[in-house]
Amino acid sequence: MNASAKFWNKVAEGYSRQPIADEAAYQKKLQVTREYFQHSMNVLEVGCGTGSTAIAHAPYVKHIRAIDFSSNMIEGGLPIAYW
């Protein structure tokens, strides 16, 4: 495991509980990004963290796959993904 994965695995639990620092800016980013999507698209998000952005974009594309090298970040997002 590389140093980056070790770092993100270590901070993952606290990260997943933190609120988004600037919710308005985050929502604007989602809106701007969605303008590039088509419902027929397959999308790959690399470095997805807990997957919250992928989950937010999923209704706007055919399929989204989100990956991260921190297994703890992925695990932290599972409760969000399966609610």
| pLDDT tens-digit readout, 34-83 | 999 999 999 999 999 999 999 999 999 999 999 999 999 988 877 766 55
How many domains, in total, are found in the chain? 1
Residue-range definition of the domain harbouring residue 71: 1-10+39-83
42: left (phi over 0), alpha (psi -120 to 50) or beta: beta
Q: What average pLDDT score do residues 7-12 get?
A: 90
Of the pLDDT bands very low, low, confident and very high (cuts 50, 70, 90), residue 13 is confident
Determine the pLDDT at residue 81. 65
φ, ψ dihedrals at 69, nearest 5°: -80, -5
Cα gap 57→29, rounded to integer Å: 11
Q: Residue 17: inside a domain, yes or no?
A: no
pTM: 0.82
Cα gap 73→51, rounded to integer Å: 8
Which tokens in the block code for residue 14? 């606290």
Q: Residue 49: inside a domain, yes or no?
A: yes
Comparing 69 with 13, the larger pLDDT belongs to 69
The identity of residue 75, as a single letter, is E
